[in-house]
Chains A and B, each alone.
Chain A
Amino acid sequence: MLAIMGTSVDRGEEGVLLRFDAVSFSASSGTELLHRVDLGVDRGAVTVLAGPSGAGKSTLLRLGNRLEVPSAGVVRFKGTDLTALDPQQVRRSVGMIFQRPIPFPGSVRSNLAVADASASDSALVAVLRRVGLDPTMLDRVADDLSGGEAQRMCIARTLLTQPEVILMDEPTSSLDPENRIGIEDLAREVAHEGIGVVWVSHDLLQVQRIADRIEVLIDGRNATPVERVEYLKQGAEGDR
């Protein structure tokens, strides 16, 4: 049985950095992918967004990073509607890590420069250390990094924008178990530093390891309390 099942750390509105209020989203084909979803992202905590494939978890993250705009409802960052804020600034404050590491062509240094062209060498070394990478990697070709190293570099790249929230869309799905645990630890450290982390996963053992709070999405909507217990129990039984 998942020890964390049903726990929800309520830190009150003042701790909520990002809030999704009755958010709906329809694809260009007209299919509704999200229906009146609510979610609060707390400062300094890992909020896990769990649910089966196709439940709309990734779509919800894209709305948080402003890569999509809701068709109904509001996404708020520190109480302000995202659509009223400068989208570029929103994306720097609400960073996003994608499922598969996406290194840009060139060196690790040039990858980091995309996020902050003015960062000094010492800042680059510091951010690499922060994500557990050797600073000598700065001049390595980014495409030559292993999957785990590349995902850490992507996290370093996002950290350079000094985000207050990081949205992580199944960031370990393409990694081996050792790297998976490493990235989870990194997410927890980042949260301890005060950043709000949203972690999408359907690996319930992983959810148990990292979550401060769990929200379950099913068929593009918040799961009912019964569905939530069923989903998490199902996973717990599968993990035995």
Chain B
Amino acid sequence: MNDTQIGWMGVTASLVLVAIAIGLSLWQQLHLTRSMLWSSARAAVQLLIVGFALRLVLDSKASVWWAWLWVVVMIVFAGFTIRSRAKEIPGIFLLGTISMLTVVAVSLSVIFGFHIFPMQGRTIVPLAGMMIGNSMTSCVLVGRRIVGELSDKRDEVESRLALGLSWPDASRPYVRSALRTALVPQIESTKAVGLVFLPGAMTGLVLAGVDAVDAVTVQLAIMYLILGSVATSVTVMGLGLTRQMFSSDHRMKPIARASH
């Protein structure tokens, strides 16, 4: 066993921390004991299944198409996750899936087109996962903000339409505000990286024994790609959803207010 393999004993030992969390819950009567046990067990089962499946997909002898198939499954699951988090927005599944597809297409084209990482199963799956994972939350956020902004400001939007503006012009100030709101958290977290927290990829590489500066360069590339991915997904979702809220003859459709 090398330094990076913690083995089953290590995992079992780390359960002590779960026990501490449960102890605190019991002491403070938070009634979260069952939830903690369930989430810990569920995480273990999910990750083990993923681990064994990834072992097959990432095997150096396995075809790279298995990795791409994995990415397709991730995109579809991301679409379902986005829908489950923003059920009130009609057509969110399709828009979310298209956003994720665009994110993966753009980010992986840059990654492999510029040879930032080699195109192999072991790079395709985790990189696509990181881009999708980070973009999903922003997609939900921008979807809710757009529905919220346009329904709150319906009077203003219709006043602009009544002056003869097209739907893109009439909705622009409100869509812009929603896009900014959705992008700011990612920009802030990009700013704070290294100072406030050490990001996952870099932490993983350092734990795996990679030189810290080498780990930083990998992390930097990933951070920039994530920023680009979030911006792409937010824009695709934002513009797509806005388009959906207007008819082709520049009328605003009735919309249900997003619940928060």
Contact = CB atoms under 8 A, between A and B. Distances in A.
Interface in A80-98: 87-89, 91-92, 95-96, 98
B4 interface: no
A143 to B, nearest CB: 12
Contacts of A95: 162-163
A104 B165 contact: no
Contacts of B3: none
Interface residues of B, number: 17
Interface in B232-260: 249-252, 254
A92 B163 contact: yes
Interface string B170-195: 00010000000000000000000000
B157 to A, nearest CB: 10
Contact of A88 (B156, B165, B173, B252): B165
Interface in B152-174: 155-156, 158-166, 173
Contacts of B166: 88
Contact of A89 (B155, B160, B164): B164
A67 B159 contact: no
Interface residues of A, number: 24
Interface in A158-202: 158, 161
B163 A157 contact: yes
B159 A98 contact: yes
A65 B252 CA distance: 13
Kindly name the residue among B160, B162, B165, B254 whose own CB sees the greatest number of chain A CB atoms within 10 A: B162
Contacts of A28: 254
Kindly name the residue among A95, A102, A115, A158 whose own CB sees the greatest number of chain B CB atoms within 10 A: A102
Contacts of B161: 67, 91
A154 B160 CA distance: 11
Given A102-B156, A104-B156, A105-B173, A91 B162 contact: yes
8 contacts: A67-B251, A67-B252, A91-B164, A102-B156, A104-B160, A154-B159, A158-B162, A161-B163
Given A88-B165, A114-B160, 10 more contacts: A28-B254, A66-B251, A87-B249, A87-B250, A88-B166, A91-B161, A96-B162, A98-B155, A104-B173, A157-B163
Which 8 A-B residue pairs are closest in the complex by CB-CB distance? Answer: A92-B164, A96-B162, A91-B164, A102-B159, A88-B164, A87-B249, A115-B163, A28-B254
Interface of B: 155-156, 158-166, 173, 249-252, 254
